Amino acid sequence: MTRRRLHRPSRPQVFVGIATLLVIVLVVVVATRDRTDRPAPSAGPTRPTTDVAQDPSFGTETSVIGAPPATSAGPSSTTAAGQKPTTVGERGRDETAVPFRTPVRCPASGSPTTGAFPGADERDGYRWVTVGELSGRCDLQSRPFRITNADTRLVFRSDADQLAIFLLDPRELGSLAGFAQTTCAGPCAGSMVLIDKDIDAVLRIQAGDAPWSVRVEQYRRG
């Protein structure tokens, strides 16, 4: 009986086999990484989900006024019903744009009975001086006025069942929506700090059919 001798691969054959195996592993790793690193296809830009009806009374532009990042709330007083207005302290701090509706006109009559405006706080010849104001019922818009670099506040009183106060750039009055300085869902009164400096501005009010009054004041020599 003859014994079969096993064939042992030569050393060069071993090296070739190992090199081939390494090449196969490298190809698999590169292919896998290329597939996982490839960015997902873009869905493209999305359109706003809210359609705002165009108001021909205020032009045709579609830009939105204001939108600085949110900060802490400023002081505000409670309403007659014990509610607080949704005052958020500084210009443009309400994060939801309010559509500008077709202006509702109501006869001007009476003054609001809710709350009271704060005092002038006179010190060393300085006091709160009114630089822009608007009073009435329903929807109104003021003439342009100037806000300088002095400390500035917005004060308001309203008997209306709803109130939205906007501080707009006169060059952008054709906008279809804006970020309100403050809104109330009922009678309210309060004050808030405005951070805007050295600008021209316009007050725009959307409110229910009841008296309201709004002022922009600056602390300076009266």
Q: What is the mean pLDDT of residues 35-40?
A: 49
Among candidate residues 217, 148, 154, the one with its CA nearest the CA of residue 189:
154
Whether residue 77 is contained in a domain is answered as: yes
Q: Which two tokens stand for residue 18?
A: 């190992």
Bigger pLDDT: 173 vs 15 = 173
Whether residue 97 is contained in a domain is answered as: yes
The per-residue pLDDT for 119 is 94
Cβ burial of 12 (10 Å; 0-12, 13-18, 19+) is exposed
Whether residue 86 is contained in a domain is answered as: yes
Bigger pLDDT: 114 vs 50 = 114
Report the number of distinct structural domains present in the chain: 1
Whether residue 92 is contained in a domain is answered as: yes
Sole residue written with tokens 């009975």: 113
Q: How far apart are CA 186 and CA 188, in angstroms?
A: 6
Q: Which two tokens stand for residue 214?
A: 């709004």
Q: How far apart are CA 201 and CA 145, in angstroms?
A: 6
> Does the pLDDT value for residue 76 go beyond 50?
no
b vs e for 134-173, b when ≥16 Cβ sit within 10 Å of the residue's Cβ?
bbbbbbbbbeebebeebebbbbbbbbbeebbbbbbbeeeb
Q: ∠ CA 65-170-221 to the nearest 5 degrees?
A: 105
pTM of the complete model beyond 0.85:
no
* Structural domain containing residue 203: 65-221
> Does the pLDDT value for residue 129 go beyond 70?
yes
The per-residue pLDDT for 37 is 52
Whether residue 60 is contained in a domain is answered as: no
Bigger pLDDT: 196 vs 131 = 131
> Does the pLDDT value for residue 64 go beyond 80?
no
Whether residue 35 is contained in a domain is answered as: no
**Sheet containing strand 64-65, strands side by side:** 64-65, 177-178, 98-99
Whether residue 18 is contained in a domain is answered as: no
**CATH number of the domain enclosing 84:** 2.60.120
Bigger pLDDT: 217 vs 37 = 217
What is the band of 54 on the pLDDT scale with cuts at 50, 70, 90? Answer: very low
> Does the pLDDT value for residue 60 go beyond 70?
no
Q: Across the chain, what does the average pLDDT equal?
A: 73
Non-local CB neighbours of 138 within 8 Å, separated by 6+ positions: 103, 104, 105, 106, 207, 208, 209
**pLDDT digit string, tens, across residues 137-170:** 999 999 999 999 999 999 999 999 999 999 999 9
- Give the residue ranges of DSSP H helices in the chain: 11-37
What is the band of 174 on the pLDDT scale with cuts at 50, 70, 90? Answer: confident
The per-residue pLDDT for 3 is 53
Whether residue 107 is contained in a domain is answered as: yes
> Does the pLDDT value for residue 94 go beyond 80?
no
